């Protein structure tokens, strides 16, 4: 504990009244320092490691089985995973409070829908002769899960500017808050991610849908599944790049779960296309449907990591490597929006090499992406030049403050000594004349003692102003 910061080891989220009492006792950093821990660190790993190991073994077992035994094994695994997923999600909801419970309630739509999805899977494929999946309005209810998951991502509490760490800097209530990144860059990055994901979705499934005879409700629901999966990935990238939630482990598990869910929904749409459905085609959808909600449920119970406290000053303890670990969040913001852009560019390049030209929607999306990238580079160069100018100006101001007296604006002893050394060196090397003028104020102590420090300061400022008017700036 340092500078009034309070570190709690409670396994559950502190109640609001407890947080208020802690804040009154230890300052504003107390609330920031409270860790949200639905389960302990040890309990989390005890649950996480064996469950993921069993799921991996089950996935490996699918390579040995075939036909109806594989479908039955898939159905049994999905039912077991759905029960575990629902239990973990309920633990995460019950053992949290406030805003941390809010995003978990929204994200829980995915894990809680895993049991109906597993039952539907069992009914659809347990016969050993899978048929083409036909979307009905009932399947449309499963679209609520990705929509609510997207809302939960947006509601995840973000890390504070100081990350909850105590600071010795005094508060600045009059300081105007400025965004960390310009709104123009954020807007362009958001559009880049949206168009990139739309292009990826086109090559993944949308182009196949437009070439089939699927129409009506089935077509609308199939397109909605693809677009909601793309929407989750877009919001995930935006939240990771700009919002930066303080529970990084939960965000990483959510990312893996959402990615698996997106793969599952894409494969689900593929199963709905007319044609012969092979047992092998169910494997991608099964993996995503089993692992996606399970990873999301683990994200709901993931405890926040306790930040490592730096050693106290004067304790003689050397800082550990963890204390010196650089912050990767600025780099995350800089390069994460380009991840979907790189995938989209690779798809466009592969299509152009294979077919010789782009046509239709991919062509328009590629032109839009190229335009956005060009605009972003122009804005980035402009902002970088402005930042360089601001840094130079700040450096000049700091140098001036270090070399001049704050009251009179005259050179202090350090600057006088440095300039005198340069003048003496120039006189010794080139014979340049040098003169030192000494100015003393008679009876200054009497003025200061008789009329007060304010009058003494005013006298010093007056003498400094007269020196500025009487002596050249280079000589003063």
Q: Would you say 369 and 195 are in contact if contact means Cβ atoms under 8 Å apart? A: yes
Tokens representing 92? 């995460």
Per-residue pLDDT of 418-470, as tens digits, reads: 888 988 998 899 888 888 888 888 888 888 888 888 888 898 889 888 888 88
pLDDT at position 359 is 78
Burial degree of 473 (CB within 10 A; 0-12, 13-18, 19+): exposed
Q: Would you say 31 and 246 are in contact if contact means Cβ atoms under 8 Å apart? A: no
Q: Which residues does 475 contact at the CB level (< 8 Å), separation at least 6?
A: none
* Cα distances (Å, whole numbers) of residue 5 to 19, 24, 27, 97, 420: 12, 11, 7, 21, 48
pLDDT at position 395 is 92
Strand partners, 137: none
Instruction: Give CA–CA dist 157/471, Å, rounded.
Output: 59
pLDDT at position 328 is 63
pLDDT at position 405 is 86
Q: Which residues does 427 contact at the CB level (< 8 Å), separation at least 6?
A: 433, 434
Strand partners, 158: 245
Handedness of CA 268, 55, 141, 110 (dihedral sign): negative
pLDDT at position 134 is 64
3-class state of residue 9 by DSSP: coil
Q: Would you say 8 and 33 are in contact if contact means Cβ atoms under 8 Å apart? A: yes
452: left (phi over 0), alpha (psi -120 to 50) or beta: left
CA dihedral 289, 292, 298, 303 (to 10 degrees): -170
Exposure string (b/e) for 110-124, b if CB count within 10 Å is 16 or more? bbbbbbebbebbbee
3-class state of residue 433 by DSSP: coil
Per-residue pLDDT of 157-205, as tens digits, reads: 876 544 444 443 444 444 444 444 567 787 888 888 888 888 888 887 7
| Residues of the chain scoring pLDDT < 70 | 1-35, 125-136, 159-182, 213-215, 272-281, 306-330, 332, 475-476
> Tokens 């119970």, residue?
301
> Tokens 């909850």, residue?
164
pLDDT at position 391 is 92
Q: Would you say 271 and 281 are in contact if contact means Cβ atoms under 8 Å apart? A: yes
Instruction: Give CA–CA dist 467/473, Å, rounded.
Output: 9
């Amino acid at each position: 504990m340092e500078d009034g910061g309070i570190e709690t080891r409670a396994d559950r989220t502190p109640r609001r009244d407890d947080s208020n009492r802690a804040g009154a006792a230890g300052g504003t950093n107390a609330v920031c320092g409270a860790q949200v821990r639905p389960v302990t660190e040890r309990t989390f790993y005890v649950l996480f490691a064996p469950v993921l190991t069993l799921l991996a073994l089950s996935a490996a077992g699918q390579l040995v089985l075939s036909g109806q035994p594989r479908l039955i094994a898939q159905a049994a695994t999905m039912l077991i995973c759905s029960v575990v997923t629902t239990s973990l999600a309920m633990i995460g909801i019950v053992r949290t409070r406030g805003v941390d419970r809010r995003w978990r309630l929204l994200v829980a739509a995915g894990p809680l829908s895993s049991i109906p999805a597993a039952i539907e899977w069992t009914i659809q494929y347990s016969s050993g002769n899978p048929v083409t999946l036909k979307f009905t309005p009932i399947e449309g209810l499963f679209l609520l899960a990705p929509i609510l998951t997207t809302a939960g991502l947006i509601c995840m509490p973000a890390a504070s500017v100081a990350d909850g760490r105590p600071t010795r800097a005094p508060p600045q209530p009059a300081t105007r808050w400025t965004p960390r990144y310009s709104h123009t860059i954020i807007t362009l990055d958001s559009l880049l991610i949206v168009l990139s994901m739309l292009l990826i979705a086109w090559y993944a499934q949308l182009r196949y849908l437009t070439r089939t005879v699927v129409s009506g409700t089935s077509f609308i629901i199939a397109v909605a599944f693809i677009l909601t999966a793309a929407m989750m990935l877009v919001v995930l990238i935006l939240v990771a790049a700009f919002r930066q939630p303080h529970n990084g482990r939960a965000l990483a598990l959510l990312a893996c779960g959402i990615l698996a869910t997106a793969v599952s929904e894409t494969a689900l749409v593929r199963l709905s296309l007319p044609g012969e459905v092979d047992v092998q085609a169910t494997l991608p959808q099964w993996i995503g449907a089993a692992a996606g909600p399970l990873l999301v449920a683990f994200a709901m119970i993931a405890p926040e990591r306790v930040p490592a406290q730096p050693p106290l000053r004067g304790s003689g303890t050397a800082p550990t490597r963890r204390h010196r670990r650089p912050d990767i969040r600025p780099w995350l913001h800089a390069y994460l929006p380009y991840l979907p852009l790189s995938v989209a560019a690779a798809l466009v390049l592969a299509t152009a090499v294979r077919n010789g030209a782009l046509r239709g929607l991919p062509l328009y999306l590629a032109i839009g992406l190229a335009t956005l990238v060009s605009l972003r580079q122009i804005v980035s160069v402009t902002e970088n030049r402005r930042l360089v100018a601001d840094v130079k100006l700040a450096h000049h101001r700091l140098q001036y403050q270090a070399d001049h007296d704050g009251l009179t604006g005259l050179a202090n002893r350090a600057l006088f000594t440095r300039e005198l050394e340069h003048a003496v060196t120039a006189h010794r090397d080139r014979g340049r004349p040098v003169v030192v003028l000494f100015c003393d104020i008679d009876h200054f102590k009497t003025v200061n003692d008789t009329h007060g420090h304010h009058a003494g300061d005013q006298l010093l400022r007056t003498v400094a102003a007269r020196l500025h008017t009487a002596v050249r700036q280079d000589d003063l």
